[in-house]
């Protein structure tokens, strides 16, 4: 039944996307080019609605028997309405944040989706207590916005989200979680159908409707798949979402270094930096796909690691991320603390010989 459902979701997304494209033009949900945008003409940006409708079709057909199913759907309705309104009239950041918190609160309070504790490697556990709920809401809102931030090139957010969903599905299969496997696969099939129209050169953008929905679903599914587990497993969803999380992290650092508001938009995200280095639109997207796949593979390897091996794995991964960020100028051309430190060490070593 699951395979038939996935094929249905994929085909539904392919058939619905052209209809949503027409609707986008009719209701004014379009994206006009400006100095921060890469595209050069007015584009429809309601594509996420096709992904969502295909997802709903899949959920209605499969009808997964899990207490979290209905809260997730209700929360996603809040997200979709927010996305549609934003694609039409561009809501303020404050209103979008309130809506995201409301959607997160639905799955937290109604569905009971929150991380209450983490088992420590050397025995015992960390109890989050009253912090459990706010930390979970922060995670959901943070990942929702992280996916939205990388939605800057044709097919980028859809492709990166698909790779994250593949990894989450694979991990859920390993852990024997049928519900997370099914829902993640439904979202994946719906997204892949849309990606046919969204890959460069795109015929339609997913808009905030799609980016917020995918971010919301990925954040919730990663929590469901890895809650109340060991410290190592708790880090797995962070690694899976390495591309959007690291891009968001360096965007925050960049704005702090440049003394700009955290909400200030700029043209220095990962994809912008790669484009400035001379890579084409398609090459940039494929490179970021490769990075997302690398993080997905790293998450699977890390989940099987022992404590000491896992620790060294994370240290090496963080060093690689920092070096890459400094090399492409993700924070700024002059921000190269690790590279400067390595050069100083090399010079010192040469002098001492």
Q: What is the DSSP letter of 68?
A: T
Q: What are phi and psi of 91, to 5 degrees?
A: -70, 160
Lowest mean pLDDT among 97-111, 258-272, 329-343: 258-272
According to the model, what pLDDT value does residue 123 have?
A: 55
What is the average pLDDT across 173-187?
A: 92
Neighbours of 263 (CB within 10 A): 9
What is the average pLDDT across 218-247?
A: 77
> Residue 212: which residues within 8 A CB-CB, separation 6 or more?
48, 79, 80, 82, 83, 86, 96, 100, 144, 147, 148
Residue 121 in this model has a pLDDT that exceeds 60: no
What HEC string does 15-57 produce? HHHHHHHHHHHHHCCEECCCCCCCCCCCEECCCHHHHHHHHHH
Mean pLDDT of the chain: 87
Q: What is the pLDDT of residues 72-95, one digit of tens each?
A: 999 999 999 999 999 999 899 899
CA angle 342, 288, 164 (to 5 degrees): 110
According to the model, what pLDDT value does residue 348 have?
A: 83
What is the average pLDDT across 117-132?
A: 69
Residue 260 in this model has a pLDDT that exceeds 90: no
Residue 220 in this model has a pLDDT that exceeds 70: yes
pLDDT band at 234 (very low <50, low <70, confident <90, very high): low
Give yes or no for a contact between 222 and 143, defined as CB atoms under 8 angstroms apart: yes
The domain segmentation of the chain, as residue ranges, is 2-352
pLDDT band at 54 (very low <50, low <70, confident <90, very high): very high
Give yes or no for a contact between 188 and 165, defined as CB atoms under 8 angstroms apart: yes
> Residue 181: which residues within 8 A CB-CB, separation 6 or more?
169, 172, 173
Residue 229 in this model has a pLDDT that exceeds 60: no
According to the model, what pLDDT value does residue 37 have?
A: 55
């Amino acid at each position: 039944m699951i395979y038939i459902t996935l094929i249905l979701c994929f085909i539904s997304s392919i058939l619905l996307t052209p209809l949503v494209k027409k609707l986008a033009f009719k209701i004014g949900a379009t994206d006009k080019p400006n100095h921060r945008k890469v595209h050069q003409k007015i584009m429809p940006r309601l594509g996420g609605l096709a992904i969502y409708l295909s997802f709903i079709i899949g959920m209605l057909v499969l009808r997964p028997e899990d207490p979290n199913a209905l809260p997730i759907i209700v929360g996603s309705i809040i997200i979709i309405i927010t996305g549609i309104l934003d694609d039409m009239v561009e809501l303020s950041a404050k209103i979008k944040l309130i809506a995201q918190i409301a959607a997160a609160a639905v799955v937290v309070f109604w569905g009971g989706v929150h991380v209450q504790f983490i088992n420590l490697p050397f025995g015992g556990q960390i109890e989050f207590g009253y912090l459990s709920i706010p930390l979970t809401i922060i995670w959901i809102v943070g990942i929702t916005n992280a996916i939205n931030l990388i939605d800057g090139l044709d097919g980028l957010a859809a492709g990166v989200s698909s790779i994250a969903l593949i990894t989450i599905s694979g991990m859920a299969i390993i852990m024997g979680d049928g519900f997370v496997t099914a829902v993640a696969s439904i979202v994946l099939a719906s997204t892949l159908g849309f990606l046919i129209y969204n890959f460069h050169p795109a015929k339609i953008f997913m808009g905030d409707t799609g980016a917020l929905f995918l971010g919301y679903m990925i954040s919730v599914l990663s929590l469901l798949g890895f809650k109340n587990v060991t410290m190592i497993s708790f880090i797995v969803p962070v690694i899976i979402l390495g591309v959007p999380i690291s891009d968001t992290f360096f965007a925050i650092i960049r704005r702090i270094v440049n003394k700009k508001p955290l909400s200030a938009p700029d043209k220095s995200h990962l994809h912008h930096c790669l484009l400035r280095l001379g890579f084409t639109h398609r090459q940039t997207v494929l490179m970021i796909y490769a990075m997302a796949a690398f993080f997905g593979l790293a998450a699977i390897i890390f989940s099987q690691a022992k404590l000491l091996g896992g620790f060294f794995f994370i240290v090496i991964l963080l060093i690689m991320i920092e070096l890459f960020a400094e090399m492409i100028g993700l924070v700024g051309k002059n921000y190269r603390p690790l590279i400067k430190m390595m050069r100083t060490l090399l010079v010192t070593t040469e002098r001492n010989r």
